[in-house]
């Protein structure tokens, strides 16, 4: 018996919810004029704009991105130096070219090329990272200094005395 009562209660609640939803989306408030091509519950849940915003302190995002870029660029530079240092200065590789029928000698170690490429790429990532980091830190510190300036002033002028609190 409890299951039947619970089922009837849920059905009646669902019907009343559907009627309220239809009335909400009807042009004149009449549920019969509501557009039912899309489920009203779907319209209610997904068509409402979501205005959830998180306050971000100015410069905080630039600071995080800049520090990440600087660290990654530094790691690329160090890795490039390590790869370049591990290359063989007396590298020589001879291969046979089947189309020309001749032997070709390669004298540049691929590790050397990769090391130089990593150092250049690391510099290209680290330099903008440092610039972003410093600009973001400057904005962040300026905002924090503005927020920390609270004062209580008392002044006597021509029109009387006054007390001012600024935050």
Extents of the domains making up the chain: 2-46, 60-153
pLDDT digits (tens, 9 = 90+) for 120-155: 999 999 999 999 999 999 999 998 888 777 666 777
* Whether the Cβ atoms of residue 44 and residue 35 lie closer than 8 Å to each other: no
Q: Which of 29-38, 48-57, 59-68, 85-94 has the lowest mean pLDDT?
A: 29-38
- pLDDT of 46 > 90? The answer is no
pTM for the model = 0.54
Q: Specify the residue for token string 């971000």.
A: 56
Rounded mean pLDDT, 54-81: 93
Q: Cα–Cα distance between 130 and 62 in angstroms, integer?
A: 10
As a whole number of angstroms, the distance between CA 118 and CA 139 comes to: 31
């Amino acid at each position: 018996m409890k299951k039947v009562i619970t089922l009837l209660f849920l059905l009646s609640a669902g019907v009343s919810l559907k009627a309220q939803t239809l009335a909400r989306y009807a042009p004149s408030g009449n549920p019969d004029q509501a557009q039912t091509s899309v489920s009203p519950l779907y319209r209610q849940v997904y068509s409402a704009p979501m205005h959830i915003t998180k306050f971000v302190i100015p410069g905080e995002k630039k600071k995080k991105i800049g520090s990440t870029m600087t660290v990654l660029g530094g790691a690329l530079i160090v890795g490039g130096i390590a790869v370049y240092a591990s290359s063989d200065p007396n590298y020589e590789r001879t291969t046979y070219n089947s189309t020309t029928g001749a032997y070709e000698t390669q004298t540049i170690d691929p590790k050397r090329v990769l090391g130089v490429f990593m150092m250049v790429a690391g510099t290209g990532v680290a330099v903008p990272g440092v610039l972003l980091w410093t600009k973001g830190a400057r904005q962040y510190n300026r905002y924090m200094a503005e927020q920390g300036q609270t004062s209580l002033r008392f002044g006597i002028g021509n029109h009387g005395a006054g007390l001012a609190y600024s935050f």
